[in-house]
Amino acid sequence: MHRKVQVILYVETTMQWLILQVSPSRGGFWQNITGSVEHHESFLHAASRELFEETGIHIPSNLLIDICFTVYYDHPRLKQVQERCFLVKLSDVPELTLSEEHQDYKWINTSDLTRQPFAFESNLKATMQAIKFLD
Protein backbone atom coordinates (compact mmCIF):
# COMPACT_ATOMS: atom_id res chain seq x y z
CA MET A 1 0.00 0.00 0.00
CA HIS A 2 1.30 3.45 -0.93
CA ARG A 3 1.36 5.83 2.05
CA LYS A 4 0.59 9.55 1.70
CA VAL A 5 -0.11 12.53 3.94
CA GLN A 6 -2.42 15.48 3.66
CA VAL A 7 -1.76 18.63 5.70
CA ILE A 8 -4.52 21.14 6.34
CA LEU A 9 -3.27 24.59 7.37
CA TYR A 10 -5.48 26.92 9.41
CA VAL A 11 -4.78 30.48 10.63
CA GLU A 12 -6.63 31.26 13.86
CA THR A 13 -6.58 35.08 13.70
CA THR A 14 -8.09 35.27 10.21
CA MET A 15 -10.03 31.99 10.49
CA GLN A 16 -8.84 30.98 7.02
CA TRP A 17 -7.58 27.81 5.34
CA LEU A 18 -4.73 27.47 2.85
CA ILE A 19 -5.20 25.77 -0.50
CA LEU A 20 -2.53 25.37 -3.17
CA GLN A 21 -2.82 25.29 -6.94
CA VAL A 22 -0.52 22.78 -8.58
CA SER A 23 1.44 23.81 -11.67
CA PRO A 24 -0.17 23.41 -15.11
CA SER A 25 2.11 20.47 -15.95
CA ARG A 26 0.57 18.62 -12.99
CA GLY A 27 -3.03 19.56 -13.83
CA GLY A 28 -3.50 23.07 -12.40
CA PHE A 29 -5.97 21.89 -9.76
CA TRP A 30 -6.46 23.10 -6.18
CA GLN A 31 -5.64 20.95 -3.16
CA ASN A 32 -4.35 20.84 0.38
CA ILE A 33 -0.68 20.15 1.05
CA THR A 34 -0.09 16.53 0.06
CA GLY A 35 2.75 14.14 -0.54
CA SER A 36 4.12 10.64 -0.26
CA VAL A 37 5.62 9.10 2.85
CA GLU A 38 9.15 7.95 2.16
CA HIS A 39 10.17 4.39 3.03
CA HIS A 40 11.98 5.29 6.27
CA GLU A 41 9.48 7.94 7.46
CA SER A 42 6.57 8.05 9.83
CA PHE A 43 3.36 9.74 8.70
CA LEU A 44 4.06 12.57 11.15
CA HIS A 45 7.58 13.21 9.87
CA ALA A 46 6.35 13.10 6.26
CA ALA A 47 3.64 15.67 7.05
CA SER A 48 6.21 18.04 8.56
CA ARG A 49 8.56 17.55 5.60
CA GLU A 50 5.82 18.06 2.98
CA LEU A 51 4.63 21.22 4.76
CA PHE A 52 8.15 22.64 4.51
CA GLU A 53 8.82 21.47 0.96
CA GLU A 54 5.56 22.82 -0.44
CA THR A 55 5.23 26.09 1.52
CA GLY A 56 8.57 26.87 3.17
CA ILE A 57 6.91 26.68 6.60
CA HIS A 58 8.95 24.81 9.19
CA ILE A 59 6.89 23.41 12.03
CA PRO A 60 8.31 20.84 14.45
CA SER A 61 6.46 17.59 13.89
CA ASN A 62 5.17 17.58 17.48
CA LEU A 63 3.04 20.65 16.62
CA LEU A 64 1.18 18.86 13.83
CA ILE A 65 -2.18 17.56 14.99
CA ASP A 66 -3.32 14.11 13.91
CA ILE A 67 -7.04 14.63 13.29
CA CYS A 68 -7.65 10.86 13.28
CA PHE A 69 -8.84 10.88 9.68
CA THR A 70 -7.42 8.53 7.08
CA VAL A 71 -8.56 8.21 3.48
CA TYR A 72 -8.19 4.98 1.52
CA TYR A 73 -8.53 4.93 -2.26
CA ASP A 74 -7.38 3.21 -5.42
CA HIS A 75 -5.01 5.07 -7.71
CA PRO A 76 -4.35 3.90 -11.29
CA ARG A 77 -0.58 4.20 -10.96
CA LEU A 78 0.00 3.71 -7.24
CA LYS A 79 -2.63 1.01 -6.65
CA GLN A 80 -4.02 1.24 -3.12
CA VAL A 81 -3.32 4.45 -1.21
CA GLN A 82 -3.56 5.23 2.50
CA GLU A 83 -3.59 9.00 3.12
CA ARG A 84 -3.38 10.22 6.72
CA CYS A 85 -4.48 13.77 7.50
CA PHE A 86 -2.91 16.33 9.82
CA LEU A 87 -3.86 19.83 10.94
CA VAL A 88 -1.53 22.77 11.52
CA LYS A 89 -2.90 25.75 13.48
CA LEU A 90 -0.99 29.01 13.17
CA SER A 91 -1.74 32.24 15.01
CA ASP A 92 -0.82 34.52 12.09
CA VAL A 93 -0.69 34.31 8.30
CA PRO A 94 2.80 33.06 7.41
CA GLU A 95 4.98 34.09 4.51
CA LEU A 96 4.93 31.28 1.97
CA THR A 97 7.60 30.04 -0.42
CA LEU A 98 5.88 27.75 -2.89
CA SER A 99 7.65 24.75 -4.36
CA GLU A 100 7.99 24.34 -8.12
CA GLU A 101 5.07 21.91 -7.92
CA HIS A 102 2.71 24.82 -7.26
CA GLN A 103 1.81 28.00 -9.09
CA ASP A 104 -0.52 29.77 -6.67
CA TYR A 105 -2.21 29.67 -3.28
CA LYS A 106 -5.11 31.32 -1.55
CA TRP A 107 -6.56 31.70 1.90
CA ILE A 108 -10.25 30.88 2.11
CA ASN A 109 -12.92 31.32 4.75
CA THR A 110 -14.66 28.30 6.22
CA SER A 111 -17.95 29.38 4.62
CA ASP A 112 -16.32 29.30 1.17
CA LEU A 113 -14.77 25.82 1.46
CA THR A 114 -17.60 23.99 -0.26
CA ARG A 115 -17.41 26.39 -3.21
CA GLN A 116 -13.71 25.76 -3.80
CA PRO A 117 -12.72 23.67 -6.80
CA PHE A 118 -10.92 20.92 -4.89
CA ALA A 119 -9.80 18.33 -7.42
CA PHE A 120 -10.26 15.51 -4.94
CA GLU A 121 -13.20 15.00 -2.63
CA SER A 122 -10.78 13.70 0.02
CA ASN A 123 -9.36 17.24 0.38
CA LEU A 124 -12.76 18.70 1.24
CA LYS A 125 -13.61 15.78 3.55
CA ALA A 126 -10.29 16.13 5.39
CA THR A 127 -10.79 19.88 5.80
CA MET A 128 -14.32 19.34 7.11
CA GLN A 129 -12.92 16.80 9.58
CA ALA A 130 -10.34 19.39 10.69
CA ILE A 131 -13.17 21.87 11.29
CA LYS A 132 -14.95 19.31 13.50
CA PHE A 133 -11.68 18.72 15.32
CA LEU A 134 -11.38 22.46 16.08
CA ASP A 135 -14.93 22.68 17.48
User: Using one digit for the tens of pLDDT, what is the confidence trace for 38-53?
Assistant: 999 999 999 999 999 9
d(CA 132, CA 36): 25
Where helices occur in the chain by DSSP H, the ranges are 43-55, 121-134
Domains and CATH numbers, the chain: 2-134 (3.90.79.10)
Question: Which amino acid, residue 8?
Answer: I
Enter the DSSP assignment of 41: -
d(CA 11, CA 17): 7
Burial class for 47, CB neighbours closer than 10 Å (0-12, 13-18, 19+): buried
Does residue 28 sit in helix, strand or coil? coil
pLDDT at 59: 92
pTM for the whole thing? 0.94
Cβ-based neighbours of 68, under 8 Å, separated by 6 or more: 133
pLDDT at 79: 86
Q: Which residues does the chain have with pLDDT short of 50?
A: none
